[in-house]
Amino acid sequence: MLIHRRAIRAKASLAAALVATALASAAFAQTVAPMSFDRNLYADLLGRHTHAVGDVAGTRVDYVALARDPSFRRLLDGLAAAAEPTRRDERLAFWIDAYNVLAMDVVARHQPVASIRDVGSLLRPVWKRDAGVVAGAVRRLDE
C-alpha cells in the first residue's frame, strides 16, 4: 500500500510539474523566435487534459484523453521536427518541455499504469528505452 501511495504521489507530482513548466514555457515563448515546437499548443493540451485534485500533488493528467487528442499527435510531430535553439535559456526551456512531453507520451501509450516506472523493468528501466523523437533524433528519458 505504501508503494502504491508513493507511485500515486510521484505521478501527481510529475503532472503538477508539467503544468507549471508548460505555462512558464508558453509565457517564455512569447519573447523568443517561433519554432516547430508549439508551446502554446502544449499549454492548451495541459489545460484541457489536467484537473485539480485534493491531494499533495494537486493536479492529475488524463492520459487516456491526451492520447486520443489529435492535437497531442501534432505536438509530438512538432517536437520531432523542431530545431534545437541556440541560445542557452531557450535550449534549456526546449529540453525541459521535450522531456515532459516524451514522459507524458510514454505514460499515455502504456495505460493503465500507476507510475511511469511501471513501463520499464528492473533490467531495462523506462529511462533507458527509446521515448520518442526530438529535433530529428530518437531520444531516451535519461539523456
Q: SS3 for 140?
A: strand
Burial class (CB in 10 A: 0-12, 13-18, 19+), 126: buried
Kind plus residue range of the DSSP H or E element containing 139: strand 137-140
Q: How many CB atoms lie within 10 A of CB 139?
A: 18
Cis omega (within 30 of 0) on the bond before 125? no
37 backbone φψ class: left, alpha, beta (φ>0; ψ -120 to 50): beta
Instruction: Give the pLDDT of residue 12.
Output: 52
Q: Which residues of 20-29 are buried (b: 16+ CB within 10 A; e: fewer)?
A: ebbeebbebb
- Report the share of the chain in percent with pLDDT over 90: 69
Q: Which residue has the cell 485534485?
A: 53
Which tens digits make up the pLDDT trace of 79-129?
Answer: 999 999 999 999 999 999 999 999 999 999 999 999 999 998 999 999 999
Burial class (CB in 10 A: 0-12, 13-18, 19+), 89: exposed
Instruction: Indicate whether 15 pLDDT > 70.
Output: no
Distance, CA of 42 to CA of 139 (rounded, Å): 19
Which tens digits make up the pLDDT trace of 34-66?
Answer: 457 899 999 999 999 999 999 998 999 999 999
How many separate helices (H) and strands (E) can be counted in the chain? 5, 4
Say which residue, 68 or 7, is predicted with more confidence: 68
